Structure 1
Amino acid sequence: MRIALMIAATLYASAAFSQQAAPQAPKPQVNVRTNAVMFSGGPSLGDSDKVRWDFYKADSMGGRSDENVGGAYDATFEEKIPPGRYVAVASLGSISREIAFEVKDGGVTDLAVDFEAAQLTIVPKRSPESKEAEPLARVTVTQDEFNDSVYGSKEIFVPAGELKLQGRIGPAEAEETITVKAGDTLTHDVIIPSGVVVANAVYKEGGRKVETDGIRFEALAETDTLDGTRKTITGTYGPGKIMQMPAGNFIMRARLGKVSVEKPFIVTAGQRTDLTVDLDAGVLAVSAPKAERIDIVETTKDLQGTQKEISGRYGTTHQETLHPGTYSVKVTYDKKTNREPKEVNATVTASERTEINVAD
């Protein structure tokens, strides 16, 4: 009996030790694995860092919350995240796909995405004959919610289907539609008919160049709008500045002081246009010690006996750019001085500076 009890105890202890020593199944070191292809049936994008994966906790409705729990730049990688419900966001350039998934304790979830995309190289040019891409050009590619923009020549990933391309160089614009297939690798020239204009001015033909940045150049549409005005395409202050322009016929308006002159010009796609505007103008400089105000007016009077005001300012000096001709300069003083206003004539000559002093 004693021997039987000893045998039974030994067998029990052996069974208990056997249960404790039995190896448990190892928990996985990762529980999420990813893969991505550019098109259905295409090869894996492998370790391409052009693909970005991000994992977000799912909200109560199963949608994506703002809480990110992991991710990497890699088409194929492995990650370990806590069990639960998630939304994966896979991105290839500006193409984005979402996948809802669940991670269970002890299991591995495999995620795969097909971007149904094409690889498009955009080459913006000013004209079909241009040999180089235009680095200043901006091209926007859109399709439904997809939107991507590039400057100059660049390779991007785009969704398969119809794409809208909008190109811009300054005020010059172009728009077209193309269709691509998933898996395509293609290059497309976007032609934005445009050139550059460099405007300068002289006070008279063959005379002095205008050097002040006070001059304003405005490129205007050739035809008037319904209200009789012309649309301003672009503009700049100062001579010798480069202005981006669409190809076509335009009017350049140059304004300096009280002088405004217009000159037609043509912009050819892919070319530079140098333009010089003849202002036919001179400068009148007036000094009047102790003056309160100086005004420049026309010498002629209208039927009411008034003279048209051209330019004026408070102070003892005044300078204005004017077309050639004779003008009347009026000087007024503070009423407290009991001085009578003075009026003298001054003649302006093109490309010359006329200085007068109205004595006290």
Structure 2
Amino acid sequence: MAMPVIAAEKAIIILDASGSMWAQVDGKARITIARETLATVLKGVPDDLELGFMAYGHREKGNCDDIEMMVEPAAGTAAAILKAADGITPKGKTPLSAAVRMAADDLKFTEEKATVILITDGLETCNVDPCALGNDLESQGVDFTVDVVGFGLTEEEGKQVACLADNTGGQYFSAQDGDSLVKALAQTVAETAKPAPAPEPKPAPVEDEFNLIPTATLSEGGPDIVDDKVDLVWEIYKAKADGTQGEYVTTSYGSTYKVNLDPGEYLISAGEGSAKATMPVTIKAGKVSKPHFVINGAILKVHPRPSEGADVDKDATVTIAWPNDETTFYGEITTVVPAGEVTLNVSIGAAKVSETFTATAGDTIDKDVIVGSGIGSFQSEYVEGQAVDDDIFLEVFEAKKALDGSRKSVTNGYGGNQTFDLPQGDYVVDYTLDGTKGEVPFSIKTGERTDVTLVLDAGVVAFTTPGDDYIEVLGAKKDIKGNRESFDYGYGPAFETTLKAGDYVIKSLDKETPLTVPAGERTEITLK
């Protein structure tokens, strides 16, 4: 697939090389598909595109620092990137956020325009919030973008990493097979190579004086809004001959605002979100225009707390909704809402609270919102005192079962040491690590921390085979129909799994080999 030969940019491709990249798609490992995709797409890369290559999770298991810059960004690196990708053996965790941060720093994203292209088949497993990282990089970067390609992710999983692209002005692509992966990666590389649009010229000043000095108020006859109250968003467009919105001119922030504009007809709005007023304004040569905007809104201050007397939770999600629109903030906020019915939804982790009220124009509404949450802290151990440092998956369910025996899922995550914010109640946490599964009940009280230790009673088994042979671990006992339970499977030449202590049968190379797994120990087996 040939790429257009256009202006050069600078980018780094990050490839997920965690253990899950051995999963099969149409009989072929994901890592193999990824290598083939790189070979196809890099054929059309412009000669002057400065492209680098990074991978994570390819050197050791359970290490969140296993991130390596394999090819530094430079022109003409296609061959070097392909060679580096061919030498990768997936095996570890998924520190995708730390990898993006490292790539951004390498590209000097606070000084120059830069792009990171992330290809991942899994979610973050190293206790870093990719959404918050995106916001942080966007706020510091000169012109920084992350494009994310979710390879084999479900729609719900995709949403959990798409925010990394959304928050930096990038794009998220879903790829479920080799063809769609080629298409997605080719598009991200093509977008990276496009030249940036020329900046629009700034309006010329009029004799070093401002010719537009607008003011705004929340309600008719109310006092002007000043900067110590709340910031406003000012948007200016040229007006067409019929009075409708025309060419974009500028956007500015702050309750007090002054600017120089060329003489002409404009449409100007002041406010925030749906709480704003728009009016036509005429700028005349040598004259100062002082339009007054009545926003018809109220100031809303929200202080989200997990419990009475607790500190404000800076990571709380605050969604404000009104008819036909809504907006989302994080932590403690001060904003402007339109007069009328407003619904406030606040969540801390899985704990949520909702309230609907009427906002009156000109009012200041100050709310302490008590979400009613506690903390569940989970420590996973192979045996007592021996911590799990691998990609163990935890999922929290409500303890109560439905009529069909199912439970409602509340939240989930990866890692041996995790914490979740949960509403008060009774729960069950399910854990899965390779072929090891189990569940533990626990309870949460508002404003309290509950520590839960998950003792897996398990050991690690490492298999070595002559080639990429199929390996399956089965239970030693057969059921009444003569079948054995399958606990895990993988492919050689090196395959590692975690199993509860006990007896098993290994099926590989057309043979069945007995296996006993001791708890808290590593067992190494060579299959010949």
> What TM-score results when the alignment is normalised by the length of structure 1?
0.72
Is there any run of 5+ residues in structure 1 with no aligned partner, and where? 1-28, 334-340
Matched position secondary structure for 1:212 = coil
What CA distance in whole angstroms lies between the structure 2 residues aligned with 1:70 and 1:219? 44
RMSD of equivalent CA atoms: 3.8
Please name the residue that 2:509 is paired with. 332
Contact 2:299 2:362 in 1 (8 A): yes
What CA distance in whole angstroms lies between the structure 2 residues aligned with 1:157 and 1:61? 31
Is residue 180 of structure 1 aligned with residue 359 of structure 2?
yes
Q: Which amino acid aligns with 1:61?
A: D
Is residue 58 of structure 1 aligned with residue 58 of structure 2?
no
Residues 214/272 of structure 1: CA separation in 2 closer, same or farther (3 Å cut): same
Q: Of residues 318, 321, 324 in structure 2, which corresponds to 1:142?
A: 321
Please name the residue that 1:262 is paired with. 439
Contact 1:34 1:76 in 2 (8 A): yes
Compare CA radii of gyration and give the structure with the larger one.
1
What CA distance in whole angstroms lies between the structure 2 residues aligned with 1:106 and 1:217? 68
What CA distance in whole angstroms lies between the structure 1 residues aligned with 2:462 and 2:238? 75
Is residue 40 of structure 1 aligned with residue 220 of structure 2?
yes
Residues 174/230 of structure 1: CA separation in 2 closer, same or farther (3 Å cut): same
Please name the residue that 1:6 is paired with. none
How far is 1:94 from its partner? 6.3
Residues 311/61 of structure 1: CA separation in 2 closer, same or farther (3 Å cut): same
Please name the residue that 2:519 is paired with. 350
Matched position secondary structure for 2:291 = strand
Matched position secondary structure for 1:130 = coil
Sequence identity percentage = 31
Contact 2:471 2:492 in 1 (8 A): yes
Q: Deviations over 1:124-151 (max 9, x none)?
A: 1112x13311101121223235644332
Contact 2:472 2:488 in 1 (8 A): yes
How far is 1:252 from its partner? 0.4
Q: Of residues 246, 271, 292 in structure 2, which corresponds to 1:112?
A: 292
What CA distance in whole angstroms lies between the structure 2 residues aligned with 1:294 and 1:107? 82
What CA distance in whole angstroms lies between the structure 1 residues aligned with 2:251 and 2:509? 78
More helix by share: 2
How far is 1:209 from its partner? 2.2
Matched position secondary structure for 2:312 = coil
How is 1:258-297 mapped onto 2 (pairs within 5 angstroms)? 258-285=435-462, 294-297=471-474
Q: Deviations over 1:270-296 (max 9, x none)?
A: 332211123233344556779955543
What CA distance in whole angstroms lies between the structure 2 residues aligned with 1:63 and 1:322? 68
Contact 1:57 1:69 in 2 (8 A): no
Matched position secondary structure for 1:213 = coil
How far is 1:30 from its partner? 8.2
More strand by share: 1
Is there any run of 5+ residues in structure 2 with no aligned partner, and where? 1-208
Contact 1:311 1:320 in 2 (8 A): yes
Q: Deviations over 1:71-91 (max 9, x none)?
A: 8856475866525x4323223
Residues 70/254 of structure 1: CA separation in 2 closer, same or farther (3 Å cut): closer
What CA distance in whole angstroms lies between the structure 1 residues aligned with 2:425 and 2:393? 21
Residues 168/327 of structure 1: CA separation in 2 closer, same or farther (3 Å cut): same
Contact 1:286 1:319 in 2 (8 A): yes
How far is 1:99 from its partner? 1.3
Residues 319/110 of structure 1: CA separation in 2 closer, same or farther (3 Å cut): closer
* Greater RCO structure (CA 8 Å; 6+ sep): 1
Residue-pair matches, total: 319
Task: Please identify, of 237-246 and 140-149, the stretch whose mean Cα deviation from structure 2 is larger.
Answer: 140-149
